[in-house]
Amino acid sequence: TYSLTGNVRWREAAIRATTFLLDNLFRDGRLLRRYRDGEAAFEACLEDYAYLIDGIIELALAAGDVTLIARARELQACQDAALWDEGVGAYFTSSGADLIVKKYEFTDGALPSPNSVSLLNLRRLAILSGGISLHQRAERLAGELGARAAAYPEAFCRYLMAEIWQERSAQLVVVAPDSAAIPEQDVLSWKQTFRPGLMILVVREGQSGLPPLAEGKGCIEGRVTGYLCRGNTCQEPSTDIPGLLRELDSLYKSA
């Protein structure tokens, strides 16, 4: 909502909510799903992990907080350990040791399929934080979802969105000089056009704790500089950020 409206209250509310959840419901390497009167309880299900990780990735990109990418990666590792079924190549709905039968959720209902949400989470984290294991797991999950979607695609909208995202995947890393701030309206203007597959990451030159996607990227002559990347290749850096976005739009139109 913040990226669309520019209303800072929405961004601050999202930061507070995320901080509360991570501080109170993520304990000892596992996510819990209920908090009441200071007590957290009940092991999280797949939808809890998938939707929270999705939200944290969105917040990391919207707020420019790269530390949240590491937190999303940490949660993803916990989800993988608790719920991944190596035999099927998908996630169980829940992980209770006392369950006689463990189920899967593949189709969308009132809410998107958590397996499909997880597919896009894996793909985005593989790019943002690196790691071949994330990419490999994403492709196994895509294969399982794709086989099921072929028979009834209307029930797999979120999966199809993840496939469109993959086809158009691109990243714009914007590096600001340490001594200057990028006007917030400029950042919002870059994000308000719907470009499926595009992730925009804004960082500062010399900032510590950068994800692999942004490592080694600096400014040209002390000016705000953009790097447009597709696949594993980044183009020559440019100080014309709107020009890079127009170039990306032209690539989409010619595809």
User: What's the pLDDT tens digit per position in 161-177?
Assistant: 999 999 999 999 999 99
Mean pLDDT of 118-127: 97
Task: Using DSSP, state whether 49 is helix, strand or coil.
Answer: helix
136-170 residue pLDDT tens: 999 999 999 999 999 999 999 999 999 999 999 99
What average pLDDT score do residues 93-109 get?
80
Confidence category of residue 254, pLDDT binned at 50, 70, 90: low
Report residue 17 as tokens.
């909510």
C-alpha 29, offset from chain centre? 20
DSSP H helical ranges for 26-113: 46-63, 67-83
| Spatial contact of 141 and 167, defined as CB atoms under 8 Å apart | no
Closest CA to 229 of 127, 142, 137: 127
Residues 6+ apart with CB under 8 A from 41: 32, 34
The pLDDT of 239-248, averaged and rounded, is 90
Reported confidence tier of residue 3, pLDDT bands at 50, 70, 90: confident
What is the model's pLDDT at position 255?
A: 59
Per-residue confidence (pLDDT) for residue 247, from 0 to 100: 87
CA angle 192, 195, 197 (to 5 degrees): 130
CATH topology of domain 2-167: Glycosyltransferase (1.50.10)
pLDDT band at 9 (very low <50, low <70, confident <90, very high): very high
More confident residue, 232 or 128: 128
Closest CA to 45 of 117, 131, 153, 140: 117
Place 226 in a pLDDT band, splitting at 50, 70 and 90. Answer: very high
Q: For CATH 1.50.10.10, list the domain ranges present in the chain.
A: 2-167
Antiparallel, parallel or unpaired: β 170-176 and 198-204: parallel
> What value does the mean pLDDT of the chain take?
91
